[in-house]
Amino acid sequence: MQLRDFESLPASSKLWVVALSLPLTETQAKSLEQSLENLLSHWAHKGQHYAPAYSILFNQVILIAEESMAHEASGCAIDGLMRKFGMIVTSLSLKVVNPTESILWTNDHKDLRVSSKSDIPHLIAKKELKATSLIADFGLETLEQLATQGLFRICSTTWLGRKYFQDAVSTVN
């Protein structure tokens, strides 16, 4: 089965956002692309073949989208895909960012950083993480949300803004 590109998928397509703790080396990027192409081009569950697309952004963020999952999601098919994806990541000695424990952010769009949520107060105190910093939104669920909202949001407009940047939140609203 041929992989589709994102442009060929409808905006309503289901989206998964996965970040890696470090940028890929050139060798890792090539290996990951080959493994993803093989995995996704053969993605099937109970006779249902899926037609996903993927993209690797900033050598650190993997986006996977699939049209039918938005309307007829199969938890077993998704679990199987993510389990196999995890095996690929492990085989390449990569580590996935757990969005319940860490954030992916940048101040300048060039240098992505992964920080533990427990480090946030320290980063703010050192004025490294600011209300204007950009934070990756792991909660995007569709290609439409990615297209309209973008992968990154200004920190003050996220849960971080509500928790740590109240002054900045009130000036944005």
pLDDT at residue 6 in the model? 82
Q: Which amino acid is at 155?
A: C
Kindly report the number of other CB atoms within 10 A of residue 142's CB atom: 17
SS3 of residue 37 by DSSP: helix
The CATH code of domain 6-91 reads: 3.30.70
Averaged pLDDT, groups of 10, the chain, 173 residues long: 72 94 95 93 83 91 86 77 92 95 83 94 94 94 94 94 76 48
Residues present in the chain in total: 173
Domain residue limits, the chain: 6-91, 102-172
H-helix segments, 42-101: 75-91
Q: How far is CA 158 from CA 18, 30, 34, 138, in A?
A: 18, 34, 35, 12
Distance between CA atoms of residues 54 and 56, nearest Å:
7
Comparing CA positions, the residue from 4, 6, 3 lying closest to residue 147 is: 6
- The model's pLDDT over 88-128, given as tens digits with 9 standing for 90+, comes to 999 999 999 999 999 999 976 568 999 999 999 999 999 99
pLDDT at residue 2 in the model? 46
pLDDT at residue 131 in the model? 94
pLDDT at residue 108 in the model? 64
- Give the global pTM: 0.86
Q: What is the dihedral of CA 105, 108, 112, 116, to 10 degrees?
A: -30
CATH of 102-172, one of 3.10.450, 3.30.1490, 1.10.287, 3.40.50: 3.30.1490
- Residue 98 makes CB contacts below 8 A (sequence gap 6+) with none
